[in-house]
Amino acid sequence: MKAIYKPTPLESWVSQRYKRMGIYNPSDLDEKRICDALGIFFKRIEKSSHSIEQGAFKLIAVNSLLTVAEQREQFYHELAHILRHSGRQSMMTSAFRELQEWDASHFTRYAAIPFHMLHQFDLNDQNIVKNLAEQFQCTPNLCHERLEKIYNNSKVV
């Protein structure tokens, strides 16, 4: 028996976007590189992470006081807002804001650990969470969530 996983449309979209940027390996995932390719300014600040989009101006600011892994996850979260959302959250209904946050959380998992890179790893390795966290520079919790979604949505054939 073999388990087969079919990526979600969002996972495929993220992978295709990365491939167009020449991002094929975990070492290619770099906040500045991604921002440069997308025309987004990037900076680290000693305040809460946030993103700004006003006309053609786009900025992602990440809290430099967080760990490297937490900064990376905050970056992907803010990137989701720029690439996938519009409007000011402070002016939205709570339900719409919650929907955007749910979407940003999913995007973060897919952007941090892209589907097209997973073939490089043995997902059955007992140290897979640790390995993914090291290679993708994200928290073990995010890696665990990512793998759990894959395992739960795999079909045995």
Q: What is the pLDDT of residues 73-83, one digit of tens each?
A: 999 999 999 99
Domain contains 145: no
Report pLDDT for 90.
52
100: confidence class by pLDDT, cuts 50, 70, 90: confident
**100 domain residue, yes or no:** yes
Within a domain: 19: yes
CA distances from 93 to 77, 86, 106 (A): 20, 13, 20
Each residue of 32-75: pLDDT tens digit?
999 999 999 999 999 999 999 998 999 999 999 999 999 999 99
> In this structure, what DSSP letter does residue 122 have?
-
- N-to-C CA span, the chain: 6
What's the pLDDT at 91? 57
Nearest 10 degrees: Cα torsion 11, 111, 28, 30: 160
Please tell me the predicted confidence (pLDDT) of residue 37.
Answer: 97
Q: Retrieve residue 32's tokens.
A: 């500045």
CATH number of the domain enclosing 30: 1.10.10
Domain membership of residue 101 as a residue range: 7-114
The phi and psi torsions of 29 (rounded to 5 degrees) equal -75, 105
Tokens, residue 34: 């991604």
DSSP state, 58? E
The structural domain count of the chain equals: 1
